[in-house]
């Protein structure tokens, strides 16, 4: 950590600050320039309150030199992490195609969709059992029953399953789920992240609507610090002033995250745009800029979907998309 003092700072105050920093157990390397004095702090700077130091009258600014994320940092782990689940690999050049309905609605629905997306090229099945809804009066998902139906669909197709958790109270229900999804609204539910860190099961961590890439990595760090290193990151749109699409898909986050971390990075163009007709172009763009996979909503009957029908593709549309994604991947991979 580097502390830049204000020009012409009083010598006594400077020495007091240095003493105080040393009392925190830090080494302090003083560099007197012509225009400013710089303190280089050495030691366990993770415990230093950067904002507090910056607020001191004699300090111009403070800068961290080392990233606060370690387990997920590519600097310390250059090779891509490959997450493996039910015979499917994600990351390290392995592209995953996760597809399925927004909500699990019935056995017939989920098995029909599962077979259709498998035929169209998907290798993992998604489906919501617990649904985060803005309104308490909206459909909240089939819950435990929904998870049972997902397992039936896995049985019928061989596809591993991913579904969202909304409270660790339900953790026992997720024991036999292949990948647990943490939704955007829970990205900084730190207690939940910590509990998921105790599992040895892949976690699909979606970026929050207003979270920076660093915050997303810090949330992955919560999981990994507990020993669970199978984290998949997911860009799904951020909140901006723009109002044509539901959210603004931040695709530059994909190459940026791939540089910062060794974890796989996938994209959810369905929730990002909220419009079925934008899913294919944004899926192709995601593949083109280096994503490790896609999670896409597919429904056999979007008009009668209980949730998010507006952004669901039909299986035949998904098959066209999947084929184009494969061909784009051949160009860029």
* Token pair recorded at residue 179: 């990948």
Contact 95, 292 (CB under 8 A): yes
Question: Minimum Å distance from CB 26 to a second copy?
Answer: 12
Q: Tell the smallest beta-carbon distance from residue 86 to a second copy (Å).
A: 28
Position 328 contacts a second copy (CB under 8 A): yes
Considering only 51, 79, 87, 175, the residue that binds a second copy (CB under 8 A) is 51
Choosing from 119, 144, 210, 320, the residue that interacts with a second copy (CB under 8 A) is: 210
Single out the segment in contact with a second copy by CB under 8 A; choices: 93-101, 113-121, 156-164, 211-219.
Answer: 211-219
Strand-strand pairing, 124-126 and 161-165: parallel
Q: Is 309 in the site for a second copy (CB under 8 A)?
A: yes
Tokens standing for residue 9: 């700072």
Stretches 82-90, 113-121, 154-162, 273-281: which one binds a second copy (CB under 8 A)?
Answer: 273-281
Among 21, 150, 295, 307, binds a second copy (CB under 8 A): 307
E strand or H helix at 145: helix 144-157
Interface of this chain with a second copy, residues 182 to 201, rule: CB under 8 A: 185-186, 188-192, 194
Bridge-partner residues for 2, per DSSP? 40, 63
Chain-centre distance for alpha carbon 149: 26
Tokens read off for 157: 């197709």
Q: Which of 212, 227, 316, 320 is the binder for a second copy (CB under 8 A)?
A: 212
Q: Is 27 in the site for a second copy (CB under 8 A)?
A: yes
- Tell me if 144 contacts a second copy by CB under 8 A: no
Q: Please identify which residue in 180, 308, 317, 322 interacts with a second copy, judged by CB under 8 A.
A: 308
Least distance in Å: CB of 159 to a second copy? 26
Q: Which is nearer to a second copy, 160 or 302 (CB)?
A: 302
Q: What are phi and psi for residue 241, nearest 5 degrees?
A: -70, -15
Q: Which of 18, 58, 213, 319 binds a second copy (CB under 8 A)?
A: 213
Q: Which of 297, 93, 89 lies closest to 202 in space, CA to CA?
A: 89
Cβ 246 to a second copy shortest distance, Å: 8
With a CB cutoff of 8 Å and minimum separation 6, the contacts of 312 are: 101, 102, 270, 276, 297, 298, 299, 302, 305
∠ Cα 268 138 195 (to 5°): 55
Check residue 119 for interaction with a second copy (CB under 8 A): no
At 71, phi and psi to the nearest 5? -60, -35
Q: Which helix (H) or strand (E) holds 5?
A: strand 2-5
Is residue 65 a contact residue for a second copy (CB under 8 A)?
yes
């Amino acid at each position: 950590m580097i502390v830049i003092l204000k020009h012409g700072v009083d010598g006594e105050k400077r020495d007091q600050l240095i003493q105080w920093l040393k009392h925190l157990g830090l080494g302090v390397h003083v560099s007197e320039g012509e225009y400013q004095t710089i303190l280089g702090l050495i030691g366990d700077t993770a415990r230093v309150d950067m904002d507090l130091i910056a607020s001191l009258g004699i300090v111009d600014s403070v800068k961290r030199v080392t990233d606060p994320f370690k387990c997920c940092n590519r600097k310390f782990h250059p090779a891509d992490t490959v997450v493996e689940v039910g015979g499917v690999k994600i990351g390290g050049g392995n592209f995953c195609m996760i597809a399925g309905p927004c909500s699990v609605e019935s056995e017939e629905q989920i098995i029909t969709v599962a077979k259709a997306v498998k035929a169209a090229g998907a290798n993992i099945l998604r489906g919501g059992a617990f649904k985060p809804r803005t309104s308490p009066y909206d459909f909240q998902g089939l819950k435990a029953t929904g998870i049972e139906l997902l397992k039936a669909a896995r049985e019928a197709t061989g596809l591993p399953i991913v579904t969202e958790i909304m409270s660790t109270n339900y953790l026992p229900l997720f024991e036999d789920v292949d990948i647990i999804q943490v939704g955007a609204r829970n990205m900084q539910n730190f207690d939940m992240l910590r509990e998921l860190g105790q599992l040895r099961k892949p976690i699909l961590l979606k970026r929050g609507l207003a979270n920076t890439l660093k915050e997303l990595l810090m949330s992955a760090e919560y999981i990994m610090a507990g020993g669970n290193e199978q984290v998949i990151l997911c860009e799904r749109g951020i909140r901006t002033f723009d109002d044509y699409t539901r959210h603004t898909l931040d695709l530059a986050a994909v190459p940026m995250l791939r540089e910062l971390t060794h974890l796989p990075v996938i994209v959810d163009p369905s929730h990002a745009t909220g419009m079925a007709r934008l899913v294919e172009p944004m899926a192709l763009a995601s593949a083109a800029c280096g994503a490790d996979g896609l999670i896409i909503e597919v429904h056999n009957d979007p008009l009668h979907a209980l949730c998010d029908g507006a952004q669901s593709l039909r299986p035949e549309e998904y098959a066209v998309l999947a084929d184009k994604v494969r061909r784009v991947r051949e160009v860029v991979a």
